[in-house]
Structure 1
């Protein structure tokens, strides 16, 4: 599957719970009503309609829709969608600061995805207001970059930057992407 370029995990048994693609629609609507409709249409074109929040669906479907949108509308739209996802999902009450919310991305990911090779998000704190996130999963790089920024902004008091710093990128055939995250 050319869509995932560098990610090599098999998605044969990978599933996503319905509330995740529902959050992509809501995140699209946060960008604009038009974008929300585009997400809904893309999911439907790939066979995902009338999504039930607690049902499990093949992960290949929403991924195909996201990659289609990335290819048609660009990286900025993917980043904006990813950035808006945290506004449409529930966070456990114990996640109240950037320092524990960023490692919590992987916990949320594994609660909403299942299968033998779904990948991961690994965060390592590198200072009082910075850290490194390694994304080794099948999602578009720019979606992940926006998601990381959105989670950090939800819990930070002010400015957040997310910069790709690794020596490889999934969009260029690498197995993972690495981002430096800084917040004030």
Structure 2
């Protein structure tokens, strides 16, 4: 299901939160207004949300921000915000192609969230904390195809944007399609399935 945290007390890194502002492009003040309405950031004189990129913000508030954007402006904008994530969020080193990019996506997801004051992925030990779900990675043998099963509290359209931006970073002709034959978080499912081809 969308917009509902899996656990209370989860926080999101400010660098990732900035994707909301970037997703609004020339209308950054409007994106900032949604963040500020949920208590994320502080207002600047020009109407933008001042975000501490190294700071941490409530996931619940960020999800409420997405919910309001989706209700008032639609899925297209949620997809745009998702497409801004790969250029804003922290990623592990060693990503060099579409396969390593999608394999690293779940690690990056956990690197940009924290629980009980600790980042949810430890790069030194490889230990991952549970509590926010996962971005799945299943390459299809002998095909230019990856299946990604996304089980997160984020909106379906946002995740499709994240996956699309990741795919286009390495394969400009890539397509990301939501598998309509499978459950969808938008319709109260617990996960969405996306098919990435290039």
Q: Where on the TM-score scale, by shorter chain, does this alignment land: which range?
A: 0.7 to 0.9
Give the distance between the partners of 2:77 and 2:184, measured in 1 at CA. Answer: 19
171-180 or 92-101: which moved more?
92-101
Higher relative contact order (CA 8 A, sep 6+): 1
Q: CA deviation at 1:112?
A: 0.4
Give the distance between the partners of 2:87 and 2:23, measured in 1 at CA. Answer: 8
What is residue 67 of structure 1 aligned with on the other side?
A: 67
**Measured at CA, do residues 146 and 22 of structure 1 come closer, stay the same or move farther in structure 2, by a change above 3 Å?**
same
Higher percent of residues as helix: 1
Larger Rg computed on CA atoms:
2
2:182 aligned to which of 161, 167, 174: 167
> Considering only aligned residues, what root-mean-square deviation do their CA atoms show, in Å?
1.9
**Measured at CA, do residues 135 and 152 of structure 1 come closer, stay the same or move farther in structure 2, by a change above 3 Å?**
same
Can you give the 5+ residue segments of structure 2 that lack an aligned partner in the other structure? 42-49, 116-129
Give the distance between the partners of 1:85 and 1:134, measured in 2 at CA. Answer: 18
What is residue 112 of structure 2 aligned with on the other side?
A: 112
Write out per-residue CA displacement over residues 73-120 of structure 1, whole angstroms, 9 at most, x where no aligned residue: 111121122123323345444101001101211111000012352111
Q: CA deviation at 1:71?
A: 1.0
Give the distance between the partners of 1:129 and 1:13, measured in 2 at CA. Answer: 39
What is residue 124 of structure 1 aligned with on the other side?
A: 138
8 Å CA contact retained: 1:164, 1:180? yes
2:17 aligned to which of 9, 16, 21: 21
8 Å CA contact retained: 2:12, 2:114? yes
Give the distance between the partners of 2:2 and 2:89, measured in 1 at CA. Answer: 26
TM-score by length of structure 2 reads 0.80
Write out per-residue CA displacement over residues 48-93 of structure 1, whole angstroms, 9 at most, x where no aligned residue: 1232111222101111111110111111121122123323345444
8 Å CA contact retained: 1:27, 1:87? no
50-59 or 104-113: which moved more?
50-59
8 Å CA contact retained: 2:2, 2:154? no
**Measured at CA, do residues 88 and 14 of structure 1 come closer, stay the same or move farther in structure 2, by a change above 3 Å?**
closer
Give the distance between the partners of 2:131 and 2:93, measured in 1 at CA. Answer: 29
The 3-state SS of whatever aligns with 2:136 is strand
The 3-state SS of whatever aligns with 1:16 is strand
